[in-house]
Amino acid sequence: MNRPSVYITEPLPMVEEMVKLLEDAGVEAEVSEVFHEYVPGDRIMDVDGVVVADSRITPETVEKARRLRIVQKFGVGVDTIPVEVCRRRGVYVCNIPGINSLDVAEFTLAAILSILHRVRERDLMAREARWSDRPKVLSERLTGKTVGIVGFGRIGRQVARLLKPFKTRVLVYDPYVAVSLVEEYGAEKVEDLARLLKDSDIVTLHVPLTSETRHMIGRREFRLMKPDAVLINTSRGAVIDEEALYDALKSGRIRAAHIDVWAKEPVSEDNPLLKLENAQLSLHQASWSVEFFREAARFCAENIIRVLRGLKPLNIVWEK
């Protein structure tokens, strides 16, 4: 009888910890040496489990998989997985919400502070020893500003908590949460996204990618924002219309943005956002901390082992 096997679709940091846990449980684990935009179908045709981070799995791949029992997302968003096809075929789809929420929230706060305090500009100025240029690069306090949080799930709530020492006014737009929950975090719920955009000095996005949220920030929304507004996106790239974002930054319609997630990943070298000085950028790494990878590796391995032992896994996405 063949040993149960798992395919890990990307060379994730600290993946050796996951491999060891799986192999100690008698599970054969293979790790892809490269990132695939689409997981090759032949790699998962005869495995019992898959761990996937940012790669995409097509419906056709799942249909042809002969032994697949679980697709374990190494993260939260499952828009890259054909969930309904998996469900129909009796393949669990699970994610790991909660483990990375503090990491993303801390990254969000760091991005806001970096922009307001012009850390990149000051670093460059120091490397070029431009002492006489110091009066040209002044920062702004976060304290006292209005921060708009779009999406008040685990990450949005952590952001609100981390903002408390800065005495900011926090506005929240999320039609799916109660006013009482928002008020627990010292924030104010608004019923209209337009109002949040008009009133906020900083707007930070923490929503899943759905038909409702795709391009929820576009040309109309940028016209509503303050001209000195800062936009942070650590959710999903397609939540923003990237062409409209480029035009808003290029024209000075908004002051700056930090973009961690992209409409197309991996991001193309010719993406025009890469050339803008008022765009602070990262490569879908807001949650990438040592602590997150260690905890996530353990969760993924243990959840797959549960399924292979005939138990029901944790965090099945369609049961939420």
The span from the CA of 5 to the CA of 67, in Å, is: 10
Work out the number of other CB atoms within 10 angstroms of the CB of residue 57. 26
**Which pLDDT value is given to residue 256?**
98
Residue type, 272: P
For the segment 152-156, the average pLDDT, to the nearest whole number, is 96
Token pair, residue 121, equals: 């500009």
Residue type, 76: V
The span from the CA of 315 to the CA of 320, in Å, is: 8
Backbone dihedral angles phi then psi of residue 153, each to the nearest 5 degrees? -80, -155
Per-residue pLDDT reduced to its tens digit, 179-229: 999 999 999 999 999 999 999 999 999 999 999 999 999 999 999 999 999
Q: pLDDT-derived band of residue 73, with 50, 70 and 90 as boundaries?
A: very high
Alpha carbon 7 to its chain's center: 23
**Which is the CATH superfamily of the domain at 5-99+289-319?**
NAD(P)-binding Rossmann-like Domain (3.40.50.720)
**Which is the CATH superfamily of the domain at 101-281?**
NAD(P)-binding Rossmann-like Domain (3.40.50.720)
**Which residues are identified as catalytic?**
236, 265, 284
Per-residue pLDDT reduced to its tens digit, 280-309: 999 999 999 999 999 999 999 999 999 999
Do residues 240 and 205 lie in contact, with contact meaning Cβ atoms separated by under 8 Å? Answer: yes
Q: In this model, does residue 1 exceed pLDDT 60? A: no
The span from the CA of 136 to the CA of 50, in Å, is: 52
Q: In this model, does residue 17 exceed pLDDT 60? A: yes
Angstrom CA distances, 185 to 84, 158, 172, 189, 295, stand at: 35, 9, 10, 11, 26
Do residues 189 and 172 lie in contact, with contact meaning Cβ atoms separated by under 8 Å? Answer: yes
Give the three-class secondary structure for 92: strand
Token pair, residue 260, equals: 């961690």
Spans of all domains in the chain: 5-99+289-319, 101-281
Q: Residue 3 carries which DSSP code?
A: P
Do residues 281 and 107 lie in contact, with contact meaning Cβ atoms separated by under 8 Å? Answer: no
For the segment 128-138, the average pLDDT, to the nearest whole number, is 97
Per-residue pLDDT reduced to its tens digit, 243-278: 999 999 999 999 999 999 999 999 999 999 999 999
Residue type, 270: D
Q: Are 5-99+289-319 and 101-281 the same fold in CATH?
A: yes
For the segment 30-44, the average pLDDT, to the nearest whole number, is 93
Q: pLDDT-derived band of residue 90, with 50, 70 and 90 as boundaries?
A: very high
Do residues 204 and 108 lie in contact, with contact meaning Cβ atoms separated by under 8 Å? Answer: yes
Arithmetic mean of pLDDT over the chain? 96
**Which pLDDT value is given to residue 267?**
94
pLDDT-above-70 percentage for the chain? 100
Helix (H) or strand (E) holding 281: strand 279-281
**Which pLDDT value is given to residue 2?**
81
Per-residue pLDDT reduced to its tens digit, 39-66: 999 999 999 999 999 999 999 999 999 9
